[in-house]
Amino acid sequence: MNKRNHLETYVSEQSINSDVVIAGIDACFATVDKPIIVRDQASIHLSNNAIFEKLEDWKERHISIFELPAYSPHLNLIKIWWRFIKYEWMPIDA
């Protein structure tokens, strides 16, 4: 999601793991002008060597990678957006 509220999505019906994250990132790069990966400390981002191997590939393709600290929801636009949906848009009994 960018600051102009444009969200690129990748839909998967399987369990989310490192391979799905990689596929989603690679699929979205074709539609983004200045791609930036914002990476948090989620286990799917850290549990598999495949992610670390792709980081070098992405850097070579001039894709910026921004590493979030361990706990930083205020820096993650998706977390801000989700908090807004959860507390402003959704009814309490949802």
- Domain regions of the chain by residue span: 18-89
Measured distance CA(62)–CA(41) in Å, rounded: 22
pLDDT digits (tens, 9 = 90+) for 66-83: 877 777 777 777 888 888
Is residue 58 predicted with pLDDT exceeding 70? yes
Measured distance CA(73)–CA(79) in Å, rounded: 6
The predicted model scores a pTM of: 0.55
Check residue 94 and give its pLDDT: 64
For every residue of 28-71, DSSP letters joined together read HHTT-SS-EEEE---HHHHS-HHHHHHHHHHHHTT-EEEEPPSS
Measured distance CA(87)–CA(50) in Å, rounded: 36
Is residue 91 predicted with pLDDT exceeding 80? no
Check residue 82 and give its pLDDT: 84
pLDDT digits (tens, 9 = 90+) for 22-52: 888 888 776 667 777 777 777 666 666 888 8
Q: How confident is the model at residue 20 (pLDDT cuts 50, 70, 90)?
A: confident
